[in-house]
Amino acid sequence: MLSSRRNMLLYIVVFVGFSAIIVRLFDLMVIKHERFARKSATQTTAQLAIEVRRGMILDRQGRRLAINLEDSSVYLDKLNYSADEKKLYQMAQIINVDYDDLQHTLRSDKNFVWIKRKVPLEETTKIEQLKLNGIGFVPEPKRHYTMGSLASHIIGFVDVDNRGLEGIEAKYNKDLSKSGGKYFVERDARGNIFYTSNENERTGNSIVLTIDQGLQYIVETELDTAMEKWKASAATAIMLDPHTGEILALANRPTFDPNAPGKYNPSTRRNRAITDAYEPGSTFKVVTATGVLEEKLTRPDELIDCQGGSIEVGRKRVRDAHPHGILTFMEVVQKSSNVGTIKLAQRLGKQRLYSYIKRFGFGEKTGLDLPGEISGWVRKPEKWSGTSIGAIPIGQEVAVTPLQILTAYSIVANGGYAISPHIVKGVITPEGKTIKYWGEDKKERLISKATVDILTEAFKMVTQTGGTAKEASVEGNTVAGKTGTAQMFDKSIGRYSSVDYISTFVGFVPAEKPAFSLIVVVWKPRGQIYGGLVSAPVFKNITEKSLSYLNVPKDDTIKKDILVVDKRNTNSAPGALTPVN
């Protein structure tokens, strides 16, 4: 009987025990399954963003300007972290992270935190040797600019997450990168990731620029020389194909290295070619000259009295830099006479003058595909003062960018047609398919061929004997262009400065069949102020080297190669061709 009771009690205990186990298993495997599954997942897996490799940035010849290098980012997994003050301090020393900041990170509520992004391989190797539990690494591409500061204002740069901040990197950020999403990776007890897959990577499109690395180097080298020679505060140069609108080179000084943009003053990253408005001075005279020719208010050989270099407009006296008497229209342009230009502008009147200002696109953005472009500033005629008709024609009371001036002269260079400056030639997928391409614009005539021919001849005279920019002439090729010397307005004294000037030369070459148009602007040169002495020699140096680089033949070589039928040579066969020297 007693034995029977003991057996019953034992059965009951066993039954209750197994029942408790079954209930517990049901609780763990059914009721709390999702909770513990999530907890298990957090210990054995990590959720990471799908890696997006930015597409490359290439010049027009396919040379790489922006690529990706392999680095690793260091992270902390607090769930697997084992405190080790000595090793933690050593790691901080290796990757140059403030130890106090690192301690603050450990006190964060987050289980996954970045310690440092984009760490070089040699540093991550040293950290691995510490064998610090909870410290892991994620491979991440780091943006690298192969030519350093070359074309930095065009290319721009990215932040630590590879998002474009300036330049092409910012403007075409969506093309260069794609939306990544999330993925899970397995990790060991120390938090180290031991499985990755190329399926968790995506590559953006590549951008092909219109610039040529060789031309860009020539332009930047000559700007450096000019900055040193004239002790200038800044300088800009832009080279443009006037037939297509393609930017062949664009540079500013001061400059910066996009590989380490944070080390430079923000002012050095400003793209002055499109963000800095200034009074253009005599380069703006192209508007008046075009207007009076188009409206048939003058002839190239008309004699204009420049009154000894002085004229009064609205109780304000305007003078020439050098006094002149009687000049032809062509000489007014060649010698850059303010008096002659104002007299011509008075014939146009403010309404028609304003219409030609707008025809050239002043007061509006050119539409260049770079961020930060401004429209400049041009007042409507009803807001002009009594002196405006004497100031605006000679490049005062208006504000323009270097690119706007270059675009205006490029219209003359290409025969009188509108152009749209652009700096991207195409967008290419990782598979090599071109998905966007910028071709030539539809030809809209803005200036008649007759006016273009006269202006070209006048601008050629500017670089010849008697002109204001003989220093811009190039041996073997004819240069057409215009100088500009503008006083800078000093806000501190409320009037124009007597020491600070902006010196400009803009032109195109070869004059009859331009390979490119080019503008050089120098801010606050010291020692000289005139565009013909400061900027024209820079134009000359860039042009000579660029024409050689592009294998553009000299004008005299072309003439020597012209073939004609020599009917006087009776010994020649009918229709024989003879070179003319």
The CA-atom distances, in angstroms, between 538 and each of 225, 238, 471 are 9, 12, 9
Tokens of 135: 């410290």
Helix (H/G/I), strand (E/B), else coil: 2 = helix
Query: How far is it, in rounded angstroms, from Cα 542 to Cα 219?
Result: 6
Specify which residues 259 forms β-bridges with: none
Q: Which residues of 399-419 are buried (b: 16+ CB within 10 A; e: fewer)?
A: bbbbbbbbbbbbbbbbbbbbb
Which two three-digit tokens encode residue 13? Answer: 């205990």
Active site includes 282?
Answer: yes
User: In the structure encoding, which two tokens stand for residue 340, read together?
Assistant: 């002659």
Tokens of 62: 């396919």
Contact 481, 472 (CB under 8 A): yes
Q: Please give the structure tokens belonging to residue 113.
A: 């935190």
Rounded-to-integer distance, Cα 350 and Cα 341, Å: 14
β-bridge mates for residue 287, sequence order: none
Total Cβ atoms within 10 A of residue 322: 10
Q: To which residue do tokens 């332009």 refer? A: 219
Using alpha carbons only, what angle is made at residue 273 by residues 267 and 274, rounded to the nearest 5 degrees? 90
CA angle, residues 348, 353, 355, in degrees to nearest 5: 125
Q: How far apart are CA 499 and CA 122, in angstroms?
A: 53
Q: How many CB atoms lie within 10 A of CB 221?
A: 15
Q: Is 421 helix (H, G, I), strand (E, B) or coil?
A: coil
For residue 143, the tally of other CB atoms under 10 A from its CB is: 23
Q: How far apart are CA 525 and CA 519, in angstroms?
A: 16
One-letter-per-residue 3-state SS of 21-53:
HHHHHHHHHHHCHHHHHHHHHHHHEEEEECEEE
Catalytic residue selected from 282, 337, 517, 535 = 282
Inter-residue contact 438 to 422 (CB < 8 Å)? yes
Query: Helix or strand or coil: residue 543?
Result: helix
Catalytic residues: 282
